[in-house]
Amino acid sequence: MIIRIVKLSFHAEHISAFKTIFEESKQKILAQKGCHRVEMLQDVNEKNIFFTYSWWDSEDDLNKYRQSELFEGVWNKTKILFNDKPEAWSTEKINEAQ
């Protein structure tokens, strides 16, 4: 299982727009082959910083989504709201919580 973590930083006036884009896109992303979960987190202290987490069966499934029209549409609407370069990591869980 791949967990994709993306750090996004927005201009304060665009936070609401990003939240709307995320909520409108979440179910469509979940409907992609291999996607099991999608979450958005907001930094406690810096309210303009968000993280998205998505769980995928494989890196291949993630990459197919990243090459899809859905991703292109979501990304094009989102990237114009940034105030800093986004960062992304593809990770694997190496242990289970006890």
CA torsion, ordered 52, 54, 59, 62, to nearest 10 deg? -80
Of 80, 76, 72, 75, give the one whose Cα is nearest residue 14.
80
This prediction's pTM: 0.90
Q: What is the pLDDT of residue 66?
A: 95
Q: What is the pLDDT of residue 98?
A: 59
Q: CATH assignment of 2-91, given 3.30.360.10, 2.40.50.100, 2.40.30.130, 3.30.70.100?
A: 3.30.70.100
Domain limits, the chain? 2-91
Q: What is the pLDDT of residue 24?
A: 96
pLDDT in tens, the chain (98 residues): 999 999 999 999 999 999 999 999 999 999 999 999 999 999 999 999 999 999 999 999 999 999 999 999 999 999 999 999 999 999 998 887 65
**Contact criterion met (CB below 8 Å) for 4 and 88:** yes
